[in-house]
């Protein structure tokens, strides 16, 4: 198991690489080019510069997150073949710097949604909160405005202001797109890129829907055990896999996340490990990582991966804002560093238990 840490780049992340370098057990960052629009070919010079900045800080870049897919591909629209070709060329350029995993998603238009970016908990920390009633009573445009007001100018992946200007028109394009058509479009993309993933030795790891149910009438793809199986059955290649996001799947109480981890461990190439507190009305908020702090059995999830021989990449996912820290919602340095310590501690205990048997 390799512990990593999310980093959004020099101009987009208030956390310096020198701080990440000091977190025990972390030797690599999961990064991206935040300014690249979906569907654009990533420039070689920008990829090389990103790699150089990270390696000069004493860290590795082996996982890239958010090589975003153009809506034309998701819609199966004219021009998707050219967009897929650009995606493959970006994969080739990322392979040149040693990237081993690409985490991506097939969520339409919006990558994720929360009603509150900084929700105050009784202990004084702040976290992200999802209110079903609030989301059902608002629009994407209103949410985007709310986010911009709350996050202090930090760019939020999936909610870039330049995209949100056109969000109504983009959503309109999905009128009449059935769930089955959406699956067909996903299969077309997968079967086009996986042969290249095999050649380049890059494992593709799709991220589940966040939250795991439909938003704003748009189709969804990865949100349950059944949908994960259907997705993996599209292509038998071991390079075709998933990102196990415990929080995204765990927001639905019907999802048995430890059982999902156990069943699909061989196809889990990357794991986002976080906990959350499910509320009786269907709302949830993101909690600290340990099992006792939320509704998910984090020990059981990690044990399922460990017992299956998981040797991929894990990163602590969303963290609260603690000790007065300000920054990108969900990505506080301190709480995620505590998440690293928790994950590393559980993993060490599992390793010792195995050795002492």
Catalytic-residue membership of 318: yes
Catalytic-residue membership of 317: yes
Q: Which of 174, 331, 334, 342 is catalytic?
A: 331
Catalytic-residue membership of 245: yes
Catalytic-residue membership of 207: yes
For residues 254 and 229, give the distance between their C-alpha atoms in angstroms, rounded to a whole number. 16
Q: 316 — phi, psi (to 5°)? A: -65, 135
CA distances from 9 to 29, 52, 59, 339 (A): 10, 12, 13, 21
Q: Which of 104, 119, 147, 245 is catalytic?
A: 245
For residues 175 and 183, give the distance between their C-alpha atoms in angstroms, rounded to a whole number. 16
DSSP track, 45-104: HHHHHHHHHHHHTT-EEEEEE--PPPHHHHHT-TTHHHHHHHHHHHHHHHHTTT--EEEE
Q: Which of 207, 240, 269, 306 is catalytic?
A: 207
Running DSSP on this structure, what letter comes out for residue 286? E
Q: Which of 13, 72, 210, 317 is catalytic?
A: 317
Q: Which of 51, 240, 269, 272 is catalytic?
A: 272
Q: Which of 13, 252, 318, 342 is catalytic?
A: 318
For residues 305 and 46, give the distance between their C-alpha atoms in angstroms, rounded to a whole number. 34
For residues 293 and 143, give the distance between their C-alpha atoms in angstroms, rounded to a whole number. 28
Burial degree of 108 (CB within 10 A; 0-12, 13-18, 19+): buried
Q: Catalytic residue positions?
A: 207, 245, 272, 317-318, 331
């Amino acid at each position: 198991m390799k512990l990593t840490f999310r980093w959004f780049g020099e101009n987009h992340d208030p956390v310096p690489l020198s701080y990440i370098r000091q977190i025990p057990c972390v030797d690599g960052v999961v990064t991206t080019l935040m300014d690249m629009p979906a569907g654009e070919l990533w420039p070689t010079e920008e990829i090389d510069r990103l790699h150089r900045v990270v390696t000069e800080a004493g860290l590795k870049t082996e996982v890239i997150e958010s090589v975003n897919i153009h809506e034309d591909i998701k819609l199966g629209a004219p021009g998707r073949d050219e967009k897929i070709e650009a995606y493959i060329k970006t994969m080739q350029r990322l392979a040149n710097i040693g990237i081993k995993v690409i985490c991506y998603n097939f969520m339409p238009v919006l990558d994720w949604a929360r009603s509150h970016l900084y929700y105050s908990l009784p202990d004084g920390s702040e976290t992200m909160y999802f209110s079903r009633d609030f989301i059902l009573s608002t629009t994407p445009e209103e949410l985007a405005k709310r986010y911009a007001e709350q996050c202090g100018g930090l760019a939020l992946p999936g909610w870039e202001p330049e995209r949100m200007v056109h969000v109504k028109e983009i959503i309109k394009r999905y009128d009449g797109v059935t769930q089955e058509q959406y699956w067909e479009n996903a299969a077309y993309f997968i079967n086009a890129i996986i042969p290249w993933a095999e050649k380049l030795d890059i494992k593709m790891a799709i991220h589940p829907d966040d939250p795991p149910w439909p938003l704003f009438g748009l189709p969804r793809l990865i949100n349950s055990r059944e949908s994960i199986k259907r997705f993996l059955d599209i292509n038998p290649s071991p390079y075709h896999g998933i990102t196990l996001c415990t929080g995204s799947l765990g927001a639905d109480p019907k999802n048995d996340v430890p059982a999902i981890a156990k069943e699909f461990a061989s196809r889990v190439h990357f794991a986002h490990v976080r906990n959350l507190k499910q509320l009786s009305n269907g709302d949830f908020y993101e909690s600290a990582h340990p099992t006792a702090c939320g509704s998910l059995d984090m020990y059981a999830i990690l044990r399922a991966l460990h017992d299956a021989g998981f040797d991929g990449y894990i990163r602590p996912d969303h963290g609260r804002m603690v000790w007065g820290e300000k920054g990108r919602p969900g990505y506080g340095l301190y709480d995620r560093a505590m998440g690293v310590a928790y994950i590393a501690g559980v993993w060490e205990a599992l390793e010792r238990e195995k050795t002492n048997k």
